[in-house]
Structure 1
Amino acid sequence: MIRRRILLVALLAILFAIGWWAGRGRATTSLYSNLDLFVEVIHKVEENYVDPVEPKRLIDGALKGMLKGLDPYSQYLDHKAYDALQDVTQGKFSGIGVVVGVRDNYPTVISPIEGSPAWEAGLRSGDAIVRVEGRSTQGFTIEDVAGLLRGPEGSPVRLSVRREGEGDERDFTLTRREIATPSVPYAFMEDDQVGYVRVASFSEKTGAELRAALARLRAAGARRLVLDMRRNPGGLLDQAVDVAEQFLPHGALIVSTRGRVRAQENKFFSSEPHPETRWPMVVLVDEGSASAAEIVAGALQDLDRALLMGRTTFGKGSVQSVFPLRGREAALKLTTALYYTPSGRSIHRARRDSLERADDDDSDNDSTPEDHAAPADSARQPAFHTRGGRIVYGGGGIRPDVVVSDDSLPPLTQRIEQRGLPMRFASRWGASHPASRAALRTLPGPVWEGFLAYIRAESVSVDRERLRSERSTLERAVRRELARRAAGDSAAARVALEGEPQVQRAIQLLARSRAPHDVFEVAGLGAPQRGSDRGDPADARRPHNPSDRSGADKRSRGSTN
């Protein structure tokens, strides 16, 4: 009887919600007849299934299944999922502040977040977390250990850690506190005039973080910029607008949204010029660049503001609006519109399933790693023009102006990296040798010999010729981890970028560019028409109102996760 009452209450709540929805739109006879079928199926399962079933489980499963049939991004968010979404969009959570991976079947510290409890307590890259609150973590996934490390702010958590080169485990008791995860994790000078900045995601403070990073680079002498948005999964629409307008003049259209409901049709314009507007720029993208990252890339490309380099982006150009459900700690995330670049291209790529990758820029079989990004099938794709008259292609995703494929790691290095040996060696070496800044630039002979002895002890078979051909790549991997240990993630990133073709090619192009449009000529694309980096007078007729970002609707409604 109690079960039936719970079930009826849940169904009445759904009926009430649908009735409210029908009051705002159009309820159909078909909707109500199918709802009768839904109620009957729920009753049959609840009464006859071989095992007792909680009504809430049935309702939650039905809601998730219903939305899964729409598209990969529409979801019913239960309490946990809704909280997790808010953590991501706010860029903060309560925990100890570590980036964790899995090595040798144990959660392992990749790096502590600077200034966090983990950082202050002395946790290091390579530390294996073997127990949390006395519970063994062997076989734990990243999600498993994250659930144990996060908790209420101010609460304690006990860890036992195994460190390379040490026989005994170390015990730590840390106090959880709010952890801010930066969406602009590092920015530094690549040479006297070229600055590099990494934008890893779009959360609540991305625009402000980027503004601060650019100010630091300007003070250090930057006059050219590499903006790295590779592997950036996206985030908040209003932050994408904020990032783009830091490089665009007043009144320039950044992105528009179009949906079935008039309220979802919006245009977003840049609000004011910034000193960085005149810097020559290269923007790095790849198949992991999605949603908000694609908005920024598409705007800068269409307005001829930056050269795009890399690989075609993912093509996640749909707007998800988040509707909190009344009286419940749950929400509905629903696709309500599509994004369009200033030239009118739809960012969204129609895909058969959510796992389809954006890889059509690899259709050219030429072995040269760099080529202009007119795809082999461009005749079948709609063509658009940038403000300066250059041709760009639609069809989903943002195609770079210049394709530069990242070289995959050679076989021996790949095997060694997959086992986490550079990180583990750096942890062991650091335990017995003081960290040396010299190791950030070159790898001393004794360190290299020590690494060779270490990988042999780890049963890695080493072919002499293979070792000779991959030595520079392996040395860089060790230097990266020594740099991380000595000076943090930013130093490690700087070493890693030395071996990335996209970054090095971008620096070469920028070194020969004095004005924004020079980079197009240096790349062999020809200069856009003069004046194309100025705001379109037609667009400027609508004044930009920073608060008029209804697609974002106070953070969650315009989330492009």
Structure 2
Amino acid sequence: MPSRNLNIILLTFCFSLLCFLTHRRAKPAMLVGDALDLINNHYVDPIDEETLLIAAMNGMTSILDQNCEYIPLDAYASFQDSMSQEFAGIGIYVEQPDLTKPVRVVTPLVGSPALRAGMMPGDEIVKIDGEDVAKLNLKEVSARLKGPINTVVYVVVRRDDQELSLSIDRSTIELESVIGDYRDAKNEWVYRLEDDPSIAYVRLTSFGEKTEGELRTVLTQLNNDFRGLVLDLRGNSGGLLYAAVDICDMFLERGRIVSTRIRGGKVYDEFDAQAGTLVSNDKPVAVLIDGNSASASEIVAACLQDHQRAVVVGTRSYGKGTVQNILPLQYGRSALRLTVARYYRPSGKNIHRVKEAKPEDEWGVRPNDEMEVSLDETTLEKLSKRWREASYPSLAASSALQLHVDEQALENESTEKEGGEGEELSVGGLSLDPVLRRAVEAIDADRAIDDEQNDNVVPAAA
């Protein structure tokens, strides 16, 4: 057979195989596409094609674990903002507890264009650029407030019985993920406890692209000038795996931080600490967690607990031991959040809580022995209020008197329980937060053990 004919046969075979494989991949997509067309053309009521697509994607991800999801076009940009820790806007937190009423301002961020323009907590947003938005929902109002940097948005707010017109310049708003106990007179975070400045206090609200750099700056400035450190991860739902790894490395000289395994239990990646720390090994560390501490928060808590580098205080964590990748769709306009691996703590355990898990099963990160401390609803509300007002001083002005009354009542109650004896608690986090108090007690106990061991050391004769 001539070689030319053989080449033609080989090319035909390769082309046929390619068509077959392409058809196998395209067949399910064609089925979904045909169903969308049939519904769109023949369903008794008109229905938006994008709504159908989202429903189809949600249906596929619903049979996977609870951390997989389709991120549609209108949500993907916000998701990217949260990971990059910045967005273009006016810098406010808003809420809409009553859908029949206008969206209202929770607080303008410190240093934000909204704060400079005079926007205040409690303002109701009724008009944006001349359009009545009093009956629009939260998503629609937020979308109208955002826009290109260096553009102006004209907002009318209702404050008490008055309507005020504000001209606000849009700019890049950077979201903080590393915060302290309170702000000073210059609106700068203080990373020490207000009640006890010898204890360093750092709260992480997320694990974003800038979190590692933010924390590195804070720890460098503190320069180990403290008797102990509290790392507060309560309410932190996680974020980037690499941010958690880098933060663990700030506390460890050596050892495994976390490993990940893909389909079939095959080890995909292993992360180890590098020599050198930002927090000296002789400085006690307490990590605070609760039921909303998840993912990257659990990586940090589990790693430092397994290496006995920190004591974990609070309540059992959420139990999210899986790793998700964000896979772009529609040329980067939407995405699929897909679980691609499980992570394992240094002890070799996976802390993921499966759907059918029971309380007695092994999942999540548990506090150390005698370190489990829970908060009742009243205490949690007071603590949340203090956190908000510490973060945004504009909130404190309107409720400073009530905050003082609440804390004074708490102090009086504590004194009564102790029979009128004992030292009066100062106004601050320690007076409100039993989890924080237990953490400080653990730090003091750790230092007391170290001091006792040092006292028992007999110097050699020279």
TM-score, normalised relative to structure 2: 0.75
Q: Secondary structure at the residue paired with 1:513?
A: helix
Question: How many angstroms apart in 2 are the aligned matches of 1:155 and 1:36?
Answer: 44
Q: Which residue of 2 aligns with 1:459?
A: none
Quick check: 2:313–2:438 contact (8 Å CA) kept in 1? no
The letter of the residue matching 2:221 is R
1:92 to 71, 75, 86: 86
Q: Which residue of 1 aligns with 2:261?
A: 258
Does 1:159 find its partner at 2:155? yes
1:335 to 332, 339, 358: 339
Does 1:498 find its partner at 2:434? no
Report 1:351-500 matches (<5 A).
351-352=355-356, 360=359, 377=360, 381=361, 395-401=362-368, 402-409=371-378, 443=404, 472-473=409-410, 495=428, 498-500=431-433
Question: How many angstroms apart in 2 are the aligned matches of 1:343 and 1:21?
Answer: 47
Q: Which residue of 2 aligns with 1:267?
A: 270
Cα distance, 1:275–1:332 mapped onto 2, change above 3 Å: closer
Quick check: 1:317–1:339 contact (8 Å CA) kept in 2? yes
Residue 163 (structure 1) shift: 3.8
Quick check: 2:102–2:136 contact (8 Å CA) kept in 1? yes
Residue 178 (structure 1) shift: 0.8
Residue 130 (structure 1) shift: 3.7
1:171 to 151, 165, 185: 165
Residue 338 (structure 1) shift: 0.7
Quick check: 2:40–2:49 contact (8 Å CA) kept in 1? yes
Q: Which residue of 2 aligns with 1:46?
A: 40
Q: Which residue of 1 aligns with 2:55?
A: 61
Does 1:113 find its partner at 2:109? yes
Q: Which residue of 1 aligns with 2:201?
A: 196
Residue 21 (structure 1) shift: 13
Q: Secondary structure at the residue paired with 1:289?
A: coil
Q: Which residue of 1 aligns with 2:424?
A: none
2:307 to 285, 303, 306: 303
TM-score, normalised relative to structure 1: 0.63
2:237 to 227, 233, 237: 233
Q: Deviations over 1:375-399 (max 9, x none)?
A: xx4xxx4xxxxxxxxxxxxx22111
RMSD: 3.9
Cα distance, 1:235–1:161 mapped onto 2, change above 3 Å: same
Residue 263 (structure 1) shift: 8.5
The letter of the residue matching 1:260 is R
Quick check: 1:407–1:501 contact (8 Å CA) kept in 2? no
Report 1:212-227 matches (<5 A).
212-218=217-223, 221-227=225-231
Cα distance, 1:225–1:325 mapped onto 2, change above 3 Å: same
Structure 2: unaligned runs, 5 residues or longer: 1-17, 181-189, 414-426, 453-462
Which of the pair has the greater relative contact order for Cα pairs under 8 Å at 6+ separation?
1
Residue 231 (structure 1) shift: 0.3
Q: Secondary structure at the residue paired with 2:103?
A: strand
Cα distance, 1:430–1:293 mapped onto 2, change above 3 Å: closer
Q: Secondary structure at the residue paired with 2:153?
A: strand
Cα distance, 1:113–1:282 mapped onto 2, change above 3 Å: same
Question: How many angstroms apart in 2 are the aligned matches of 1:150 and 1:107?
Answer: 15
Q: Which residue of 2 aligns with 1:384?
A: none
The letter of the residue matching 1:273 is G
Question: How many angstroms apart in 2 are the aligned matches of 1:21 and 1:223?
Answer: 68
Cα distance, 1:21–1:473 mapped onto 2, change above 3 Å: farther
The letter of the residue matching 1:319 is V
Q: Deviations over 1:263-286 (max 9, x none)?
A: 971111122322413220110000
> Size of the alignment, in residue pairs?
400
Question: How many angstroms apart in 1 are the aligned matches of 2:394 and 2:329?
Answer: 48
Does 1:183 find its partner at 2:120? no
Q: Deviations over 1:157-176 (max 9, x none)?
A: 12223445xx5332211111
Does 1:286 find its partner at 2:290? yes
Cα distance, 1:403–1:136 mapped onto 2, change above 3 Å: farther
Question: How many angstroms apart in 2 are the aligned matches of 1:351 and 1:262?
Answer: 19
Cα distance, 1:109–1:51 mapped onto 2, change above 3 Å: closer
Question: How many angstroms apart in 2 are the aligned matches of 1:49 and 1:209?
Answer: 53
Q: Which residue of 1 aligns with 2:459?
A: none
Residue 155 (structure 1) shift: 1.9
Question: How many angstroms apart in 2 are the aligned matches of 1:125 and 1:157?
Answer: 19
2:119 to 116, 123, 139: 123
Identity of aligned residues (%): 35
Quick check: 1:240–1:292 contact (8 Å CA) kept in 2? yes
Residue 196 (structure 1) shift: 0.8
Cα distance, 1:429–1:407 mapped onto 2, change above 3 Å: closer
The letter of the residue matching 1:346 is N
Report 1:206-217 matches (<5 A).
206-217=211-222
Question: How many angstroms apart in 2 are the aligned matches of 1:428 and 1:333?
Answer: 36
Question: How many angstroms apart in 2 are the aligned matches of 1:330 and 1:123?
Answer: 33
The letter of the residue matching 2:65 is D
Cα distance, 1:118–1:47 mapped onto 2, change above 3 Å: closer
